[in-house]
Amino acid sequence: MTKLELTAKLERIFKEVFNNPNIKLTEELTAHDVESWDSLSHMLLLTEIEDELNVKFKLKELSKMNNVGDLIEIILSKL
Partner 1 sequence: MVFTSINYFIFLAFVFVIYHLINHEYKSYVLLFSSLFYYANFNLLFFPIFLIIGLATYFFAIAQSKKNGTKKEHRFFRIGVFFLITPLLFFKYTKEIAVIFFDFIGLSYLEPQTSFSWIILPVGVSFYTFMAIGYLIDVKNEDIKANKNLSTVLLFLSFFPLVLSGPIERAKNIFSQIESKNQIKYDDITDGARTILWGFFLKMVIADRLAIYIDPVFVNYSNHNGSTLAIAAILYPFQIYTDLGGYSLIAIGSAKLFGIDVIQNFNRPFFATSMSDFWRRWHMSLITWLTDYIYTPISFQLRAKKQLGIMMALLLTFLISGLWHGATLPFIFWGILHGIYLCIEVLTSNFRKKMIRLFGSNKWVYLIIAQLIVFILFTISQIVARSENIDMAQIILSKILTMSLETPFLDYTNLILGILFLSIVLIKDFVLEYKFGFTQLILIRNNKLISSIFYSLLFYIIIMFGVTGSERFIYFQF
27, containing H or E segment = none
Range 54-65 burial, b when 16+ CB lie within 10 A, else e: eeebeeebeeeb
- Cβ closest to partner 1, residue 26 vs residue 47: 47
- Which residues, 6 or more positions from 56, have their beta carbon under 8 angstroms from its beta carbon? 50, 78
Q: How far is the CB of 59 from partner 1 (least distance, A)?
A: 5
Q: How far is the CB of 65 from partner 1 (least distance, A)?
A: 11
- Cβ closest to partner 1, residue 4 vs residue 60: 60
Tell me which residues touch partner 1 (CB under 8 A): 19, 36, 38-40, 43-44, 46-47, 50, 57, 59-60, 62-63
